[in-house]
Amino acid sequence: MNLDARELRDAFGAFLTGVTVVTTHNEAREPVGFTANSFTSVSLDPPLLLVCLAKTSRNAPTFKQAQGFAINILSDRQKEISNTFARPVADRFGTVQWQNGPLGSPIFTDVAAWFDCANHSVIDAGDHLVLIGRVEHFGNSGKRGLGYARGGYFTPTLTEKQLLSKVDNPLMLGVVAEYQGQIFLVDDGAGGLTIPFVEKTETEGMDVFKARLQTCLGTEPQIGFLYSVYEDTDTGLQHVVYRAGIADPHGACGTLFPAERPPLERIRDSAVRDIVKRYGQESTLGNFGIYFGNQDTGHVHVAAAQREPS
């Protein structure tokens, strides 16, 4: 059966991926790298990942013989870096801030996550090489990743403006804030617990939201992926909840609880209780969905592998 290569490529492009830049040094100790979205985690024990590289690439001989390489998962503000490393630019590394990782491969500044790998094996696969790396060191900034599908970039986080363009009432913006496997809950004002919420008027920006949250959390939150959008039909208020990472919440106004064992019996609001319960379940798998509906009924849209591989 003869398949049309262009049509096959377009079909493969329907799969939503992240964007990475793969880096190493050549024999002259010069940094080399290329943009790739054919990346995935392979195993946690041992910690393995893979990326594919076309045999026709000028980088193929270098990566095939290299003792190691790094994966830089680009953040949603690094589209230009992706474009630079996808084109034959003379001095690619002169356009980006980077430093050598623990194993020596170039690690970029402000990426969503990075992995410094030893070369585990190279597999010949048709017109590509499959580079399998053993993760020796990694970092996770909590920043949102840059997405790619159908030949174009996208930001996985749906914006509030896109989702709520027809909402006239004030919004309740909340976060499921996590710190080292623990979830942050605050007093709901009636003797129970809830997640941090901030009321936002139509004229206020997201900077106001983050500033108010910082006052509550005791540290600046790293706002991440959208997690839940629902209307409380009793009050008419629209609720938008994001996932967020926080540093040491010293001086925070709430309490940390294990994400997998939250005190659900103390959460009076059924919608918040469902959010916290779902987060605990999904965090064990590393795959998080996005809920759309109201406080009673709705649907979770699965968004696989939003958590960066570790």
Q: How far apart are CA 200 and CA 209, in angstroms?
A: 7
Residue range of the domain that includes 63: 5-154
Please give the tally of structural domains in the chain.
2
- Whether omega for the bond prior to residue 249 falls within 30 degrees of 0, making it cis, is no
- At residue 116, what are phi and psi to the nearest 5 degrees? -100, 115
Are residues 172 and 35 both part of a single domain?
A: no
Are residues 11 and 150 both part of a single domain?
A: yes
- Number of Cβ atoms within 10 Å of the Cβ of 219: 18
Are residues 82 and 120 both part of a single domain?
A: yes
List the CATH number of the domain containing 268: 3.90.79.10
Are residues 44 and 176 both part of a single domain?
A: no
Q: Does residue 131 lie in a domain region? A: yes
* 154-204 pLDDT per residue, tens: 765 544 455 555 455 668 889 999 988 899 999 998 999 999 998 876 666
Position with higher pLDDT, 303 vs 62: 62
What is the widest separation between alpha-carbon atoms in the chain? 67
Q: Residue holding tokens 């024999």?
A: 27
Are residues 121 and 167 both part of a single domain?
A: no
Are residues 114 and 64 both part of a single domain?
A: yes
Last residue of a domain, one of 93, 123, 154: 154
Q: How confident is the model at residue 6 (pLDDT cuts 50, 70, 90)?
A: confident
Are residues 208 and 259 both part of a single domain?
A: yes
Is-above-0.75 flag for pTM? no
Q: Does residue 309 lie in a domain region? A: no
